Structure 1
């Protein structure tokens, strides 16, 4: 059996790894990547002692697929949690940085007094948010935009000042067009099961705290029982992010975020070490795909041809659509209809003495109503250890997204001036950075619009016409790195004929 994986990002690499580790007799796997490197948007570089992430800088451990893969590849011991201190986010409000109220998670407060005391919301906005406690639950059928859901349950202030910028940082999208069920289905489920989202989140927080107290008590007892053998197991927490605790602070679920000690490209290099080098090809763009009998023909731009039994398209959905245009017009239309947003990431290194801000958080997000030209900033050297040498600060600034697409037409020098101006206004940084790194990602973030779940179901149904064909990537069942790993594994199992392998997605958290 011969299989070609098209696309060498994390989804394609995961698919190729799953195929090779399957032990399927006579299986030949080839991976074709059109660029000059593997890893897709994952790229870590070192510059003057700084560990710079040009793409994603972390992943959710609550979605186990990447962590599990790291274990199989032997790099689980290199997973690190976020720093225990300063696990909070700030929000720009009226030109100033304001902390999110402690316990405010994504769209709802879980603690009363921090919400009462915050200056981020008006008293009217706070009262409107509290109505979630008494409002009836919405319909269980159909789909609803994330923005409509938040307005209905918490009001416009929560949407404009918190949810929109947080969602913009995750999906680079507009909450008024994004599907609630396809992006954050757990909030829909909270409403359906508890009626009030706040009540559901408070109950979950208390349950997590109780579980953590029990785990701490058990750990203390075990420590006393095993004192005689202390020192044999390595440093505390070295087994991975489990010791990072539950979600604490405010904003994102920082207790569930992790990275690798030497950056996210660790997982890419670990995959490449496990895959046969003679089967891995860069600068190999597939320009034509067609069905022939029970197999598939692929042609590359350099003239190479492949006739195979299975194909995994681990490429952006628009590229998959182009390749399938002559094979299935229905698939072409569904895949081509998934819109994408462009974004850019700029890393800047400064002397600590040049940054007046106390750096007492992981960063800040910028609501669209503030009418500024950046959408977020992460304090990388605060969020994870060993990202910058002593005395330096590493910042990551995000630009673009669906609400600022025109901005990305500017050249690099203009973007640098914009970023420096925003950091001067918001953080008081006057001096030039020691060095900068800019990475652009055109049309890289799929937009899960209202009805996205139904679209994925239709794509899945159409795929059923084509045995040996599978799709993988971030356009279907989740945009995070663990979701992409899962999609690659599922695509491999589909091609191998595994049970239930045809699912592009499943309920997310």
Structure 2
């Protein structure tokens, strides 16, 4: 008589916790969900909704973005994510007729020189003809190829780099407001290596930004042609979901099991012992035990939950500074704008001493954002250079933006829609030495098996960079878990 074999113990799938339900956390969850390796993952989000700063609201016939209203396709990661969740046919390009940046110059809204992209003039004549720059400023810019390249490889601020290569006036009138519109940052502290390394590389390899632009290096012929006619940013490479950025959030979330998405759950700490990660809520109640943890929280929140695991890591995370801004959204009839603009919006140099960072005419970028005959304007207030303005109450913020728009574009009458979105301390500031700090953070995190960090705080603030960061973190987790599975080990 043969003795029956004992039943094998059930194989439990590895468990992974994802902290944070913004686009980074959602992208990490989707990558785990798509894996051939069965993963029992859980996502924890403190807010009652998913998406983080990406949020679209419908109000009185207006489709209003409360933060980012598009993403860049120069890097494929966000576009590929949208395609995987079924949105490929819903991505709208920007209106080609308005692909230009405007800048406030001595109280007037003017076109930025055609072909001037952030810090590199693609064409000489539009810059020389531009009323934004004085004759002295134009001559200094024209002398850029004669400026010797910097031999020191130490990090340099955006302000220092731009003044050195392009001159003070070009920095103050063009570079500072264009960069400020992206990072809401102080360019005196902003790191070139962390934010615009391509220009550092161009100086090193060509000795001149002008010579690098004329060479067309790092660009396809189509990109080079487009940039010769665009200003400020590469608007031809921006897209948005037809129904707004919320559509991307909702499409990703719809691909995920709802019972694994825990909203309204604030994580207070994580601990690790005996190879097991324990996630605790803010009341120190255990939410679960896991083989790996992917932390996609802002770096200061990440520092708080990891302080008991690694104080040195927490200190480095907490040292990354953040700036905030408030967004005032106004819906008006087009007849109320008595001096219409012919671009997607305008940026405001700090030397103008105004109370706006920028204004975006959102309905000029993409269709379907307003009722017929109406315009949606978003005014940005605060940032690193005027943080106190962002903290004003709603009535004061609305009044400030209306007064500025009345002066700059002739806005008259009462808006049909008035909405304020506040984002305090939500934009990471890539200050001098940022990449060195990130390298230290990554080294310290690598010493804890199963711990991954992802998000805007590290190597890119845009939606594509956040998606890429999330997917790389998830893939590292999968590689580790697959290795443990093949060796028969866990933890």
- Which TM class, normalised by the smaller chain length? over 0.9
The match for 1:297 is 278
TM-score (norm 1): 0.89
Q: Distance in 2 between matches of 1:373 and 1:74?
A: 41
The match for 1:219 is none
- How far off is 1:154 after superposition? 0.3
Structure 1 runs (4+) deviating above 6 angstroms are 210-213
8 Å CA contact 1:54–1:437 kept in 2: the answer is no
Q: Distance in 1 between matches of 2:222 and 2:107?
A: 39
The match for 2:205 is 193
168, 189, 195: which is aligned to 2:180? 168
The match for 2:433 is 451
The match for 2:402 is 420
Does residue 159 (structure 1) correspond to residue 188 (structure 2)? The answer is no
Describe the shift of the 1:113–1:206 C-alpha distance in structure 2 as closer, same or farther (beyond 3 A): farther
8 Å CA contact 2:122–2:227 kept in 1: the answer is no
Q: Distance in 2 between matches of 1:51 and 1:107?
A: 32
8 Å CA contact 2:100–2:343 kept in 1: the answer is yes
8 Å CA contact 2:347–2:357 kept in 1: the answer is yes
Does residue 355 (structure 1) correspond to residue 332 (structure 2)? The answer is no
Q: Distance in 1 between matches of 2:227 and 2:180?
A: 24
The match for 1:224 is none
8 Å CA contact 1:57–1:263 kept in 2: the answer is yes
8 Å CA contact 2:123–2:228 kept in 1: the answer is no
The match for 1:64 is 76
The match for 2:156 is 144
The match for 1:442 is 424
- How far off is 1:338 after superposition? 0.3
Does residue 389 (structure 1) correspond to residue 360 (structure 2)? The answer is no
Instruction: Give deviations 1:200-219, integer Å, cap 9, x for gaps.
Output: 11222997446889xxxxxx
Instruction: Give deviations 1:21-52, integer Å, cap 9, x for gaps.
Output: 11213x10100000100000000111222211
Does residue 86 (structure 1) correspond to residue 98 (structure 2)? The answer is yes
The match for 2:355 is 373
Q: Distance in 2 between matches of 1:342 and 1:173?
A: 9
Q: Distance in 2 between matches of 1:88 and 1:459?
A: 38
Q: Distance in 2 between matches of 1:163 and 1:4?
A: 41
User: 5+ residue gaps in structure 1?
Assistant: 214-244, 500-509
- Which stretch shifts more, 194-203 or 28-37? 194-203
8 Å CA contact 1:37–1:282 kept in 2: the answer is yes
8 Å CA contact 2:114–2:126 kept in 1: the answer is yes
The match for 1:277 is 258
Q: Distance in 1 between matches of 2:209 and 2:263?
A: 47
Q: Distance in 2 between matches of 1:3 and 1:498?
A: 12
Q: Aligned to 1:38, what secondary structure does the other structure show?
A: coil
Describe the shift of the 1:211–1:141 C-alpha distance in structure 2 as closer, same or farther (beyond 3 A): closer
8 Å CA contact 1:247–1:256 kept in 2: the answer is no
- How far off is 1:385 after superposition? 1.6
The match for 1:474 is 456
Q: Aligned to 2:250, what secondary structure does the other structure show?
A: helix
8 Å CA contact 1:348–1:435 kept in 2: the answer is yes
- How far off is 1:409 after superposition? 2.0
Describe the shift of the 1:283–1:304 C-alpha distance in structure 2 as closer, same or farther (beyond 3 A): farther
- How far off is 1:304 after superposition? 4.6
18, 22, 32: which is aligned to 1:9? 22
The match for 1:405 is 387
The match for 1:229 is none
TM-score (norm 2): 0.92
8 Å CA contact 1:172–1:401 kept in 2: the answer is yes
- How far off is 1:177 after superposition? 0.4
Q: Aligned to 1:149, what secondary structure does the other structure show?
A: helix
Q: Distance in 2 between matches of 1:147 and 1:323?
A: 35
What is the root-mean-square deviation of aligned Cα atoms in Å?
Answer: 1.7
- How far off is 1:494 after superposition? 2.0
Describe the shift of the 1:251–1:205 C-alpha distance in structure 2 as closer, same or farther (beyond 3 A): farther
- How far off is 1:112 after superposition? 1.6
Does residue 132 (structure 1) correspond to residue 144 (structure 2)? The answer is yes
- How far off is 1:247 after superposition? 6.8
Q: Aligned to 1:258, what secondary structure does the other structure show?
A: strand
Describe the shift of the 1:63–1:360 C-alpha distance in structure 2 as closer, same or farther (beyond 3 A): same
Q: Distance in 1 between matches of 2:280 and 2:479?
A: 25
- How far off is 1:497 after superposition? 2.7
- How far off is 1:93 after superposition? 1.2
The match for 1:202 is 214
Q: Aligned to 2:97, what secondary structure does the other structure show?
A: coil
Q: Distance in 1 between matches of 2:222 and 2:71?
A: 25
Describe the shift of the 1:394–1:164 C-alpha distance in structure 2 as closer, same or farther (beyond 3 A): same
Q: Distance in 1 between matches of 2:406 and 2:479?
A: 56
297, 302, 306: which is aligned to 2:288? 306
Q: Aligned to 2:190, what secondary structure does the other structure show?
A: coil
Describe the shift of the 1:260–1:112 C-alpha distance in structure 2 as closer, same or farther (beyond 3 A): same
Q: Distance in 1 between matches of 2:223 and 2:431?
A: 36
8 Å CA contact 1:208–1:246 kept in 2: the answer is no
User: How many residues end up aligned between the 2 structures?
Assistant: 467
Does residue 253 (structure 1) correspond to residue 251 (structure 2)? The answer is no
Q: Aligned to 1:144, what secondary structure does the other structure show?
A: coil
